[in-house]
Amino acid sequence: IIYHHYRHIKSNASSSQTDPSDGRGFGIGVLVFGKLRGFSWWPGRIVSWLMSGRSRAADGTRWVMWFGDGKFSVVASVRAGRPIPSCDASDDADGVEIQTRQIIEWAMNGFPPKGPQSLEPPEEERNPYKEVYPEMWVEPEAAYTPPPAKKPRKNSAEKAKIREVIDEGTRERLICEVKKKTRNIDDICISCGSLNVSLEHPLFGGAMCQGCKNSFLECAYQYDDDGYQSYCTICCGGREVLMCGNNNCCRCFCVECVDLLVGPGSAATAIKEDPWNCFMCGPRSSFGLLRRRDDWPSRLQHFFANNHEQDFEPAKLYPPVSAEKRKPIRVLSLFDGIATGLLVLKDLGMQVDKYVASEVCEDSITVGMVRHEGRIMYVGDVRNVTRKLIEEWGPFDLVIGGSPCNDLSIVNPARKGLFEGTGRLFFEFYRLLHEARPKTGDARPFYWLFENVVAMGVSDKRDISRFLECNPVMIDAKEVSAAHRARYFWGNLPGMSRPLTAMMNDRLDLQDCLEHGRTAKFEKLRTITTRSNSVKQGKDEHFPVFMDNKEDILWCTEMERYGSLCLHVCSVCAPACNLHVILILH
């Protein structure tokens, strides 16, 4: 909800007032405040859609640039709530008494001036970027209608040039030409209508431009509180989306894309269906111009595996060590959690000589100490680990870790990015990785692995890759477990890019994780977080288990199987189920 600094006043005596829905009200520079669930009021400013290089959208909506992170949002003007009282610029005063008297007089007179223009910036300040970016101001009326949520398009990946601005009507015109068979759909970006395409859309017939590719990389695995994708599967935008009724699907499709690519009225027909299976779940693969690719799973995997804008030298390959010469390894685990790293190494049959872990959560430390019988050396906060300590504890053969993702995930509207908040902890991993590497002339094998969320900004992923000098691999836990959990992995482990193959004892379905007499309502669960309602699945928010004719949550032992852990691994200090969830997520 946007709270703006003036209210539209309907008056027959004044013809200067305009209806915000006609594309005129809320001009450039107007200050607004937005309220996000769980956060304080956040300030923003109405800006031109050209400022972000995006195409126009329907009347009655505005582009808002939020202060702090510089992100943009499309907001309907009808959502504007109460106005903030206007303030007059006070003159210089000689003393506190004069200032107080002026404030009291101002209040007694009703805080003048009033009206829609009370706090609008001066005319000469409304276009603050006019001299810096003159190409953005060629259309004066363009400032009042925003584009859909798409990313800037650049003509070159090496050098930033003037952004390509695609009008919303362009895609409609090009799709119309495709229907008339005067143009090939593989020559246009089905997400925005750009002709400057760079690759094929991984899910549907058609192409994709570089800007929409970046949007897809950020949004494909971004989910809202209800467990569904935050944006349209096709265009990564959309003001109104249709949610799939299949319990095992979490995809959304916006009304605009459905009506345009499938056919007029298709969205209204889908709304009437209950349940409605989306275009990825139905038995049919062709819906008008929307043709689902038969090999979309492999294309999607290839899409994330080959999205790298930077080229790095291949990781160093170490010669294999014969079995009789192998020695127990020494491991440095940063942001260790409940010591799942040591658990996996044991499952793989690896002999561990020393396991040094950095962790600050006391409950997680207790679990690790008890379950691994004191074999873990805990060293506290990662920021307190120095080069001297690394040399004292080492040499290490393996360094693993995954810094907190709170300020990196674009699901968090208040994220601070890679260089602020908890995002900066990545550089602690980078620092200690550098200290643990073999020195020049030391040819001993050395391996490392870093993990983080997929739904991060393209720029953050690029910066992490630049520091670690390698590109990430996207791995989704659904291939070997009952959880939808896609993550990026950076490292030099052999075979990281190979497709995952489930083993005989892997629990691929939720039913395999449940106790006797309990029935799973879903095959796999979407990512469970520390939020209390994240365990609810589907658009109707059902609990995932059915028992005694009633819905139920996952029991603690079932949560441990769901997380591919040993039974009762978290039962040491966590009698409460919510604490079980927190520990398992560690």
Catalytic sites, residue numbers: 405
- Under DSSP, is residue 57 helix (H, G, I), strand (E, B) or coil? coil
**C-alpha dihedral (352, 358, 359, 360), degrees to nearest 10:** 150
Tokens standing for 225? 């509180």
Q: What are phi and psi of 25, to 5 degrees?
A: -70, 170
Q: Are 208 and 200 in contact (CB under 8 A)?
A: yes
Pairing of strands 519-520, 2-4: unpaired
Q: How many CA atoms lie within 13 A of 16 on its CB side?
A: 3
- What is the number of residues in the chain? 586
Question: Partners of 229 in the beta sheet?
Answer: 223
- Under DSSP, is residue 367 helix (H, G, I), strand (E, B) or coil? helix
Q: Give the integer Cα–Cα distance in Å for 337 and 556.
A: 18
Q: Give the integer Cα–Cα distance in Å for 254 and 584.
A: 35
- Under DSSP, is residue 62 helix (H, G, I), strand (E, B) or coil? strand
The single-letter DSSP state of residue 260 is I
Task: Compute the radius of gyration of the chain from its Cα atoms.
Answer: 28
Q: What are phi and psi of 304, to 5 degrees?
A: -80, -25
Question: Partners of 43 in the beta sheet?
Answer: 33
Contacts of 341 (CB under 8 A, 6+ apart): 331, 333, 355, 357, 400
- Under DSSP, is residue 536 helix (H, G, I), strand (E, B) or coil? coil
Contacts of 158 (CB under 8 A, 6+ apart): none
